[in-house]
Amino acid sequence: MKRARDYGIIIGEMPTGARNLITDVCGVKVGHATLAQGRHNTGVTVLMLCEDNPFASKLTAACHVLNGFGKTAGLMQVEELGTIETPIALTNTLNVGLVHDAMVGYMIDRCRQEGIELRSVNPLVCECNDASLNDICLRAVQKEHVLSAIADAKPDFLLGAVGAGRGMTCHGLKGGIGSASRLIELDGKTYTLGVLALTNHGRLRDLTIQGQNTGKRIQQQMAESLPDKGSCIVVMATDLPLSDRQIRRVIRRAGVGLARLGSYTGHGSGEVFLGFTTANRIPHACTQALLPLTVLHEERIDLAFRAMAEATEEAVLDSMLTAETVVSSSGTVRRSLAELI
């Protein structure tokens, strides 16, 4: 699996984590279930945010919608309360409801096993539309696939045309799952910020790599020109102590990374950004009225802004470079950037 750096493409100036993945943030794991047979080119990807139960000890979080042509479930409570209490699932547009139901069942079972009372829960399920390569109306992703993705979750996970990324298109080529991380030095300590992107957006002729309009050159080899119509989900994880307001400020810089690669965020695209920190956990049970909170001084937040922009740009690029060419059952082809670059 060759990534951008294997091609000599270095995005930005900040150092990466050991894996250059979102899982460089301690406790974060990612798993996939991929359906790639017959009329199916789809799947589900699940991000496990911590080792313990996120419902019992919620993670400080925020969300931001850059363009709202999307069907994500669960954003309203994140916006209001500033916390996430379940793993995050990614899938295709018409499978949001089925995956949401599976995540509810998973959380009920897990809390019951751990002796935690659960009367309400807010699963986060994000989507992009993979109908160009997948028979989306079949709604192929079922509960067993969600549970399989959860069981598959690990620090070293696959990128490209896997899981939720199997049927995605990015800048007219094959999109999918990408990830990257950056290290931030503050007060003698090293913090990590990681990004995972599900990419399904952009026009080929706009694709820009290291300031060069690579897409326009590639366009001359392609028979069709697709509009900037799709979606992009960007999830940020960090161990940097941030408030939910600060997280919202940081994740908005995902738009910088998308723009550097040439996306202008078209009308038909749903750009949804989520972020959480593994610091500043909020207990579900109220045992004390006041909780301690450590936050980054706002004058030092530029480091997180830069990390978010760089990691998003690299994650999107890696989603394309690691994805193999996929052909739908009807003959639609999405070629890999790795074949053309």
What distance in Å separates the CA atoms of residue 238 and residue 183, rounded to the nearest whole number?
Answer: 10
Q: What is the largest CA-CA distance in the chain?
A: 64
Could you say which of 179, 181, 231, 328 is catalytic?
Answer: 231
148 is known as an active-site residue:
no
The dihedral region occupied by 122, where left means phi > 0, alpha psi between -120 and 50, and beta the remainder, is: beta
Label residue 2 exposed, middle or buried (CB < 10 Å: 0-12, 13-18, 19+): exposed
Contact between 221 and 337 (Cβ < 8 Å): no
DSSP 3-state assignment of 286?
A: coil
Instruction: Please confirm, yes or no, whether 269 is among the known catalytic residues.
Output: yes
β-pairing verdict for 124-128 and 88-92: parallel
Q: Where are the beta strands (DSSP E) in 40-176?
A: 40-48, 57-68, 83-84, 88-92, 124-128, 169-170, 173-174
Among residues 127, 271, 313, 314, which one is catalytic? Answer: 271
Rounded Cα distance between 117 and 120, Å, is 9
For residue 313, the surrounding DSSP H or E stretch is helix 302-321
Which residue type occupies 99?
V
d(CA 168, CA 165): 5
Q: Where are the beta strands (DSSP E) in 101-230?
A: 124-128, 169-170, 173-174, 177-186, 189-200
Point out the catalytic residue in the list 132, 269, 319, 336.
269
Q: Pairing state of beta strands 177-186 and 189-200?
A: antiparallel
- 181 is an active site residue: no
- Angle formed by the axes of helices 302-321 and 244-251, to 10°? 50
Contact 45, 152 (CB under 8 A): no
Dist CA 264 CA 160 (whole Å):
22
Positions marked active-site:
231, 269, 271
